[in-house]
Amino acid sequence: MGRFVYSMNVSVDLRIEQVPGDNGAGEWLRLDEELHREFNAVTKSVALIVHGRVFYEIMEEFWPRAREDASLPDFLHEYADLWTAKPKVLVSRTRSSAGHNTRVIGGDDAIEQLATLRAQTDGAIGVGGATLATQLLRAGLLDELLLTTHPTILGFGRPLFDDYDRPVELDVLEQRSFNTGVTMRRYAIRSS
């Protein structure tokens, strides 16, 4: 059985974007080669990736074109190749097709479809998107968090989860620090 792992860049106060529409690309992020190579390794290790529509469209806009951009460094080309080639699932009520090795699921039974996908998958399933992650958490299907915490307090902006108001117990599985002051922690979500 697979494991749903919600991976996200966050501020110390668990915000994922400072201003609506910055799409996690704010100046508060401390992204460097060392950290991005770790993102590459994480992406290599997952069996597949599941994105909500907004998160997918952000990725779809940049990464396929980045493969051909000679001005970008090799570690970004590597990530572009990984993301484009990795099997992906787009969860959307408004889209019926997607490129880049992506199948689309949607409708009122999307969470049930994801539960089936999880049962049929060996290994980690990367999850991108706060709305999707919140739905998986509510359904008891979210297994792990992989949070890359940037040393900044935003004070406002979109939170890691949407309107989730129950305590969730976590166990730290792994922790790593980077030269920029960024930390990466992997947590298991305890079953209730």
| Structural domain count of the chain | 1
CATH of the domain at 89: 3.40.430.10
- Give the residue from 119, 137, 42 showing the smallest Cα distance to 86: 42
Q: Using DSSP, state whether 25 is helix, strand or coil.
A: coil
Mean residue pLDDT across the chain? 93
Q: How far is CA 56 from the centre of its chain?
A: 10
Q: How confident is the model at residue 25 (pLDDT cuts 50, 70, 90)?
A: low
Measure the N-to-C terminal CA separation of the chain; round to a whole number of Å: 19
Residue 134 identity (one-letter amino acid): T
- Are 92 and 56 in contact by the 8 Å Cβ rule? The answer is yes
Query: What are the start-end ranges of the H helices in 90-139?
Result: 110-119, 130-138
What would the mean pLDDT of 130-137 be, rounded to a whole number? Answer: 95
List the domain range (segments joined by +) for residue 21.
2-189
And the tokens for 104? 């689309």
3-state secondary structure at position 157: coil
Residue pLDDT, tens place only, 4-18: 999 999 999 999 987
Mean local confidence (pLDDT), 50-61: 93
pLDDT at 131 over 80: yes
